[in-house]
Amino acid sequence: MINTDEINGKIKRVIFTEEEIRQKIAEAGEWVSREYKDKPLLLISILNGAFVFMADFCRSV
């Protein structure tokens, strides 16, 4: 089991907060929705671990 207190103790600084990341994903999703309105859209995730981002992104499109 992961000890989150141990991990959090090693974090020196936060560059982007969770909320900032969520906001940017939502903005990107809105942009894609506008640009591809009434057009077919295929989203492909190719990086290891990118499925987490893609899941959030797909919900915002």
Tell how far CA 41 is from the center of its chain: 18
Q: Residue 5's pLDDT is what?
A: 78
Q: Residue 20's pLDDT is what?
A: 95
Cα gap 22→34, rounded to integer Å = 19
Q: Residue 9's pLDDT is what?
A: 80
Domain residue limits, the chain: 16-60
State pTM to two decimals. Answer: 0.68
Q: How far is CA 34 from CA 21, 39, 41, 55, in A?
A: 20, 10, 12, 19
Q: Would you place residue 40 in the very low, low, confident or very high pLDDT band (cuts 50, 70, 90)?
A: very high
Contacts 24+ apart (CB under 8 A), 46-51: none
Q: Residue 37's pLDDT is what?
A: 93
Cα gap 36→1, rounded to integer Å = 43
